[in-house]
């Protein structure tokens, strides 16, 4: 029991510090611990994930899916506000929790982290642009909360767009 607690503590510390662990078979418990560390709505979690993202090869044993489509069908830099890294971390959470069949239980936290990340981007602006940025961040957040678990294809989006234009 003590050995397990020490291993879990070491993994959590390494995850928070963004360190790669030595090559070995990674258990589901270890992968879930790393995913949890990377998907919290905190500055430490975001920094840990960015460090890991910059050193993906160091996390090879975890077989994480680092792929991203950035902000999907929404602009990645609406009005110049750069949400690309926020969208990357969000995609990482969605893809990797889905891969281990734990997505529904973690979706809300991943979405909250997305909003946290976008608000951090907005915090770097003066009051008027910051308010605009925060409004866009809120809109993106509401969209992923509502529609983030849907698997909508580009063809379906185009069909809806065409239906909307015809109705107008």
Q: Which range has highest mean pLDDT (52-56, 124-128, 145-149)?
A: 52-56
Rounded-to-integer distance, Cα 124 and Cα 102, Å: 34
Q: What is the pTM of this model?
A: 0.73
Contact 116, 54 (CB under 8 A): no
Averaged pLDDT, 18-41: 82
Sorted by where each begins, the domain ranges of the chain are 2-167
pLDDT reading at 123 higher than 60? yes
Per-residue pLDDT at 164 exceeds 70: no
Distance, in Å, from the CA atom of 140 to the CA atom of 4, rounded to the nearest integer, reads 40
Angle at alpha carbon of residue 103, lines to 97 and 104, rounded to 5°: 170
- The sign of the torsion formed by the CA atoms of 92, 98, 103, 107 equals positive
Q: Is a pLDDT exceeding 80 seen at residue 66?
A: yes
Q: What is the pLDDT of residues 97-106, one digit of tens each?
A: 999 999 999 9
pLDDT interval class at 75 (50, 70, 90): confident
Lowest-confidence pick of 14-28, 31-45, 103-117: 14-28
Domain 2-167 has CATH 1.20.90.10: yes
Predicted pLDDT at 23: 52
Average of per-residue pLDDT values in the chain: 82
Please list the active-site residues.
90
Please answer whether residues 110 and 93 qualify as being in contact, where contact means their C-beta atoms are separated by less than 8 angstroms: yes
Per-residue pLDDT at 162 exceeds 90: no
């Amino acid at each position: 029991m003590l050995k397990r607690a020490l291993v879990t503590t070491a993994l959590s510390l390494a995850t928070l510090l963004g360190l790669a662990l030595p090559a070995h078979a990674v258990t589901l418990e270890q992968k879930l611990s790393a995913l949890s560390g990377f998907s919290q709505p905190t500055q430490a979690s975001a920094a840990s994930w960015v460090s890991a993202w910059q050193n993906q090869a160091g996390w090879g044993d975890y077989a994480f899916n680092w792929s991203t489509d950035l902000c999907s069908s929404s602009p990645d830099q609406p009005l110049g506000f750069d949400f690309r890294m926020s969208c990357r971390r969000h995609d990482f959470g969605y893809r990797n929790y889905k891969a281990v069949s734990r997505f529904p239980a973690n979706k809300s936290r991943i979405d909250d982290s997305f909003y946290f990340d976008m608000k951090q981007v907005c915090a770097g602006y003066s009051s008027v642009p910051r308010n605009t940025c925060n409004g866009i961040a809120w809109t993106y957040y509401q969209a992923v909360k509502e529609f983030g678990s849907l698997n909508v294809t580009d063809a379906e989006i185009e069909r809806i767009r065409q239906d909307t234009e015809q109705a107008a």
